[in-house]
């Protein structure tokens, strides 16, 4: 394990895994990310609204931001070790390939909900920008933001019309899943995913955060982090209102373009929410007692986020999918959330044991062996 760790960064990654588990668990019920599953009672309705405001399209944004932030830490570490530019580029490319491999195995072979392959594709796309100026990085982020405003409403209008949003549920048979998933990879699914779900913009923001060292627990960043936390979360909440009403059936929308516009607003303001969440952890992280068992457990999970993202997805698949115990067809939304929380707590326990033994997660270990040869 690296010697220098920032508790804010690891704490954010550990908590992020809970949000991702909650976001993915509901897909096993509804099979779509455009509307919320039908609830049974007041509690389910409240959780549906809470998910739209605080989890859906927000957890992924924070996950991608932290990924981009981590890449800048890696490059900075290489520079300190006086690695050549060629060595750094090769190592970053191996990271991208490793993520593509892990993502393929998780989503196609295992059948889980995956984001790793999209990160691998995103890393290949942004690799050239990692060594360019902040000004170019900022201009590129602005251009991407404008591009997404213009094209995403049409993309998601088309997907809602054709029912393509159910693609995230996977195929009925395992053989069909293998064939369809492999074809999606061959046709550039990990690359396209960066634009359909505007992941690449969050990665760019994470790189910018990393260059500024915003989560490095430096007091001089606190005023800016406060603005980002308050502003980002406020924008996220306001931008979620239309989708909260539509996805829960309180607002009837017939026109496909309006549906696409509502979902685009939810995704793009979710990026602001992801920034706000990351900034919030940057503010509160240094004030936690680092010896507190709960803090130790969550940060241990964050240190091994690759391993336990995969573990969580496999456990959710085994418990909730029709190919496993199929609990999603028999449980309420609240009960499915409890399953996701218990999976996360189980991962904290496993991560705590590994931390006590000073061991990396097994998938993190394999990842590093591939990257560092």
The answer to whether residue 163 is domain-embedded is yes
Alpha helices of the chain — where are they, by DSSP H?
A: 7-30, 42-54, 59-80, 85-104, 116-126, 134-162, 174-186, 189-196, 199-212, 222-247, 256-284, 293-303, 305-320, 333-356, 362-372
Structure tokens at 181: 């998933």
Question: What pTM value is reported for the model?
Answer: 0.93
The answer to whether residue 263 is domain-embedded is yes
The answer to whether residue 316 is domain-embedded is yes
Q: How many C-beta neighbours within 10 Å does residue 254 have?
A: 6
Structure tokens at 335: 């009960």
- Map 126-153 to HEC letters: HHHHHHCCHHHHHHHHHHHHHHHHHHHH
> Cβ distance 117 to 104 under 8 Å?
yes
The answer to whether residue 213 is domain-embedded is yes
Residue 288 is classified by DSSP as S
At what angle are helices 305-320 and 116-126 packed, to 10 degrees? 140
The answer to whether residue 1 is domain-embedded is no
The answer to whether residue 99 is domain-embedded is yes
The answer to whether residue 188 is domain-embedded is yes
What per-residue string of b and e applies to 210-246 under the rule 16 or more CB within 10 Å gives b?
bbebbbbbeeebeeebeebbeebbebbbebbbbbbbb
Q: Domain of residue 158: give its range.
A: 7-372
Per the structure, the count of domains in the chain is: 1
The answer to whether residue 2 is domain-embedded is no
Q: pLDDT 10s per residue in the chain (373 long)?
A: 445 577 888 999 999 999 999 999 988 887 778 888 888 889 999 999 999 999 999 999 999 999 999 999 999 988 888 888 889 999 999 999 999 999 999 988 888 888 999 999 999 999 999 999 999 999 999 999 999 999 999 999 998 887 655 544 444 677 877 888 888 888 888 999 999 999 999 999 999 999 999 988 888 999 999 999 999 999 999 999 999 999 998 888 888 999 999 999 999 999 999 999 999 999 998 888 788 899 999 999 999 999 999 999 999 999 998 888 989 989 999 999 999 999 999 999 999 999 999 999 999 999 999 998 7
Please tell me whether residue 39 adopts helix, strand or coil conformation: coil
């Amino acid at each position: 394990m690296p010697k220098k760790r920032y508790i804010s960064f690891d704490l954010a990654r550990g908590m992020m895994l809970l949000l991702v588990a909650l976001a993915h668990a509901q897909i096993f019920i509804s099979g779509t990310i455009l509307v919320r599953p039908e609830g049974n009672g007041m509690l389910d309705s409240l959780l549906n609204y809470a998910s739209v405001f605080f989890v859906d399209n927000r957890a992924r944004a924070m996950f991608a931001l932290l990924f981009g932030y981590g890449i800048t830490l890696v490059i900075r570490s290489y520079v300190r070790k006086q690695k050549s530019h060629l060595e750094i580029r090769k190592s970053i490319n191996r990271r991208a390939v490793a993520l593509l491999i892990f993502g393929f195995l998780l989503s196609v072979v295992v059948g889980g909900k995956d984001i790793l392959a999209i990160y691998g594709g995103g890393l290949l796309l942004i690799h050239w920008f990692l060594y360019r100026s902040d000004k170019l990085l900022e201009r590129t982020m602005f251009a991407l933001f404008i591009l997404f405003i213009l094209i995403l409403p049409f993309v998601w209008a088309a997907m809602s019309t054709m029912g393509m949003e159910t693609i995230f549920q996977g195929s009925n048979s395992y053989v069909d899943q293998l064939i369809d998933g492999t074809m999606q990879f061959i046709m550039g699914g990990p690359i396209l995913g960066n634009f359909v779900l505007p992941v690449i913009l969050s990665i760019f923001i994470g790189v910018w955060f990393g260059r500024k060292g915003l989560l490095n627990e430096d007091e001089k960043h606190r005023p800016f982090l406060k603005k980002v936390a308050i502003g980002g979360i406020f924008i996220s909440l306001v931008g979620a209102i239309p989708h909260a009403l539509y996805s829960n059936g309180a607002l009837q929308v017939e026109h496909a373009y309006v549906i696409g516009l509502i979902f685009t607003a939810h995704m793009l303001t979710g990026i602001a929410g992801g920034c706000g969440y990351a900034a919030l952890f940057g503010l509160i992280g240094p004030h936690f007692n680092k010896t507190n068992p709960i803090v130790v457990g969550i940060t241990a999970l964050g240190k091994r986020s690759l391993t336990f993202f995969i573990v969580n997805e496999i456990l959710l698949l085994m418990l909730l999918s029709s190919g496993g115990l199929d609990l999603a067809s028999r449980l309420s939304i609240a009960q499915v959330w409890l399953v996701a929380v218990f999976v996360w707590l189980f991962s904290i326990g496993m991560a705590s044991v590994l931390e006590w033994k000073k061991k990396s997660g097994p998938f993190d270990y394999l990842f590093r062996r591939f990257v560092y040869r």
